[in-house]
Amino acid sequence: MRLYFNRGTVPISGHTKLLVEVLDINDNPPTIAITSLLNPVDENAGKGTVVALMTVSDPDSGKNGAVVCSLAGLGPFKLQSSFRNYYSLVLDDVLDREKITEYNITLIAEDEGIPQMSSKKLIHVLVADVNDNAPRFPEKTQYAYLRENGKAGSFVCTLTATDADTGDNALITYFLPQTTINGTSVSSLFKIDSLTGEIESLQSFNYEEIKTFQFKVQAIDSGVPPLSSNVSVSVFILDENDNSPGILAPYSEHGSVNTENIPYSAEYFSGTKTFGLFPSETCN
């Protein structure tokens, strides 16, 4: 700065410096920058897993530029300050995709100016499924009924299992374990559709020979590693009227019983009269 003085015929001048200080006012809100984000996060991720890295800044000075970062609301995450204005978002609790599939996390950055200024940043985090649920049947035992003398391929029942996971982890396949029934392989008696769970008979059954079957069906998912569960299937053979009545002979002296089948046209003789046995007459 130059100063001029003129009180006489000869002007006098001088030089000096003037320092002007511009005082800061809090006119800038903080900014949040996400530098790294792990998304989605596996539901079996351990406590302390780093989900995001971020920086906060404020072009103001002094307290106007001093920034504090925090999380809004509750959740399984927390903020850690690794260095001034550098933060990390870490997992602080267990995740369960079957309960909560995603999180909207709100970051709040506030300065210390007067009046205070702030800004927010929303982070959307998805929870990735892992195969932590086995298929489940609604009941431990499934009951079915099949008429005797039915044709091979007769429908028995349909089994349905559910899996709380998603994607391949919930893709279910049904099959019959290698077991036997009275010495006969169950796979030669019944078959099951691996995708629908529908069971059909492979042969005709005689009620007078066998009345019930019991075997297991396994449901297995396509996760890695795969998980499975079993259900017990009880099949009851329903009797058909496919046998003629028989007449029992009197007990012998030795206590044994003899039986003999006779045709419908048979007759018997009582005294001087002959009677037909069937269909409506009876003998005394």
Structure tokens at 250: 């009197």
pLDDT on residue 158: 97
Write down how long the chain is. Answer: 284
pLDDT on residue 58: 92
- Other beta carbons within 10 angstroms of residue 175's beta carbon come to 16
pLDDT on residue 22: 84
- Whether 94 maps to a domain, the answer reads yes
Q: What does the pLDDT look like over 78-109, one tens digit per residue? A: 999 988 889 999 999 999 999 999 999 999 99
Residues 78 and 111 both lie in one domain: yes
Rounded Cα distance, 279 and 284, in Å: 15
Residues 124 and 25 both lie in one domain: yes
> Is the separation of the CB atoms in 2 and 12 below 8 Å?
no
Average pLDDT, the chain: 87
Domain count, the chain: 3
Residues 32 and 60 both lie in one domain: yes
Please give the model's pTM, rounded to 2 decimal places: 0.71
pLDDT on residue 282: 42
- Whether 162 maps to a domain, the answer reads yes
Phi, psi for 190 (deg, rounded to 5): -140, 160
pLDDT on residue 182: 87
Q: In terms of residue numbers, what domain contains 264? A: 247-276
- Whether 185 maps to a domain, the answer reads yes
Q: What is the DSSP string of 222-266?
A: -SSS--EEEEEEEEEEEP-S-S---EEPPPPTTS---EE---TT-
Residues of the chain with pLDDT under 70: 1-14, 249-284
- Whether 5 maps to a domain, the answer reads no
Residues 151 and 100 both lie in one domain: no
